[in-house]
Structure 1
């Protein structure tokens, strides 16, 4: 232990090498144990708590709501593009996503080969490259396509593109106070290709299996809370003068949010109608909910945090299986 503390008193050296390499060089771990440590094994756990402030009070962060609004706005813009010019959408969005997937798959193969050859330095490099490609999906494809929407104004010097003129800087969202939450026990349903399903299982750290049963704190059904969404018109006009922007008042912004929520609801309802063996879920989606709104927090899912609803199912599956 003293040798470890002495060697890694330099934070940079610890970041560069790590405990795995330290133990390997001293033959303190056998090969099988090292592989298990480096494989990134995770176990599904229980007891996840609802977010609280410093005084232990429950709340929904305004930043989480704003992130969901951002996804709604990007979805709306790309849906408009797809409906008006599907060929452009396929070239500029779908084509680039497919290119990114090929790039990711190539780097992932190199990462796996490096792991098999115990080339840890190369594996770390490829792991970082994979992370960068994941993060670049929205920035390089979705957001850049949105900026092209403003291209004419950028060329004329009317609009300056950059993080300081981000459209969502004009939207301010307050935190929402929550009085009470409850604990729910959640089981995970897994679907097979033939449409049948089973309740998911996971391995304990001792290698034995157990059914996945998650204990989470969540809001009561029909919980009411208030948040405040403000649109800074002065900032909006400063960033995008004389532009036909996606929204120019709170009402149009709320409609964009509702559109995205309703699209998710319809997609999921159609999916679960094919699984009549779970009547509770079918009944849930048959409710008369006039305007589904935002989804935030655990369980939002891939379709709630991306624009993937606009993509064909096979491409969605590739993204889910290869990247997520």
Structure 2
């Protein structure tokens, strides 16, 4: 058995959020200020509530527990000066708001942020599938959609099997991707809290404003890895001609070739960037146009870009972009099956920070 191993160098080009599935509220953190690069910045200190509670007197414990039953309780109202011993970690508050009720947590190890190898591998897999689809495949998808066999999906399990497996036995065992491993990245500390807004395209270009409900702008708050952060990972591929032959995967070995990987990642990111540039130009969203014009220059064949995590959107995580170009009628059939669908654009929203920057873009370099 042989193979190749490549050092991956990742640089974040916009905020990254990979959710842990957990969140914490203002009863778990206190706002503060700190010096960063010679400037005073807003931060929040997330508190270890178990240790903090244990340190309280019996009377204070009772008061604290009673306060927690109030949904609007803020820890800073109870104690403005939390001792350093009880602070789990700090976040730079880049939300530009006076009050944060709840923060969605980024995945961590020992309270340090990282990018899971599974997120990187999943994005690579989507780009490869997008590249492998043939005209015959697209015709089949169109026929399945017109005969209502696809059920509101831009994916096709039989085509995934066709391109990634030999079609025999257990799919995971006979899948070419079992021979690719991507390690979790190195870690970083000091998350950045970003306010998340959904910019909405409308048929009236003058009204492209953040999504509102009942007159209030809908917003949420994420722990993120900030821009220009660097990480290391490792991509390893395994080659065993005898095993490939036994599993009938000989014709799929090109998928694991480094030059092929670079090429498909570059092309997929290029198509996605052009798609987003067209969207921004069509609806006169100037800050998105500028962002993607700059991003396009950073996408190269040797160091392609990748979109991962929260805010990736439908086009980055499926073959919808190809279906919309190849078979608009089939795309519209699937679009119309969604509860909220719009003739002039689908999907019609993009998640951005308060400063208007999309989420999820990283640059990959292979050594």
- What is the TM-score with the length of structure 2 in the denominator? 0.55
Structure 2 counterpart of 1:311, from 323, 335, 342: 323
Please say if residues 170 and 236 of structure 1, whose CA atoms lie closer than 8 Å, have aligned partners that are also in contact.
Answer: no
Change (3 A) 1:253 1:48: same
Q: SS of the residue aligned with 1:294?
A: strand
Matched, 1:184 2:186: no
Q: SS of the residue aligned with 1:282?
A: helix
Distance 2:114 2:120 in 1: 12
Q: Hey, which of these two has a bigger chunk of strand by percent? A: 2
Number of equivalenced pairs: 227
Please say if residues 47 and 215 of structure 1, whose CA atoms lie closer than 8 Å, have aligned partners that are also in contact.
Answer: yes
User: Which moves more between the two structures, 239-248 or 64-73?
Assistant: 239-248
Alpha-carbon shift at residue 213 of structure 1 (Å): 2.0
Please say if residues 185 and 214 of structure 1, whose CA atoms lie closer than 8 Å, have aligned partners that are also in contact.
Answer: yes
Distance 1:246 1:314 in 2: 33
Alpha-carbon shift at residue 190 of structure 1 (Å): 1.1
Distance 2:237 2:178 in 1: 9
Matched, 1:91 2:146: no
Q: Hey, which of these two has a bigger chunk of helix by percent? A: 1
Unaligned ranges ≥5, structure 1 = 1-44, 83-87, 105-132, 204-208
Change (3 A) 1:229 1:200: same
Equivalent residue, structure 1, for 2:104: 48
Distance 1:247 1:323 in 2: 33
Q: How does 1:274-293 map to 2 (within 5 A)?
A: 274-276=282-284, 278-287=285-294, 288-291=297-300, 292-293=304-305
Q: Deviations over 1:129-182 (max 9, x none)?
A: xxxx75x94314x314436x96xxx7xxxx767321111111101001331331
Please say if residues 174 and 228 of structure 1, whose CA atoms lie closer than 8 Å, have aligned partners that are also in contact.
Answer: yes
Alpha-carbon shift at residue 63 of structure 1 (Å): 1.2
Distance 1:318 1:223 in 2: 41
Equivalent residue, structure 2, for 1:193: 203
Equivalent residue, structure 1, for 2:272: 264
Please say if residues 160 and 239 of structure 1, whose CA atoms lie closer than 8 Å, have aligned partners that are also in contact.
Answer: no
Distance 1:192 1:139 in 2: 34
Distance 1:143 1:223 in 2: 34
Structure 2 counterpart of 1:173, from 168, 182, 195: 182
Distance 1:62 1:163 in 2: 18
Matched, 1:296 2:308: yes
Equivalent residue, structure 1, for 2:120: 65
Structure 2 counterpart of 1:210, from 210, 213, 216: 216
Matched, 1:322 2:332: no
Equivalent residue, structure 1, for 2:238: 232
Equivalent residue, structure 1, for 2:342: none
Distance 1:241 1:285 in 2: 38
Q: SS of the residue aligned with 1:60?
A: coil
Distance 1:70 1:254 in 2: 12
Change (3 A) 1:237 1:73: farther
Change (3 A) 1:270 1:182: same
Alpha-carbon shift at residue 64 of structure 1 (Å): 1.4
Please say if residues 77 and 246 of structure 1, whose CA atoms lie closer than 8 Å, have aligned partners that are also in contact.
Answer: no
Equivalent residue, structure 2, for 1:143: 160
- What is the TM-score with the length of structure 1 in the denominator? 0.61
Q: SS of the residue aligned with 2:188?
A: coil
Q: Deviations over 1:265-320 (max 9, x none)?
A: 111112212233x3221111111223342211110100111011111255435434
Distance 1:74 1:260 in 2: 10
Unaligned ranges ≥5, structure 2 = 1-100, 340-367
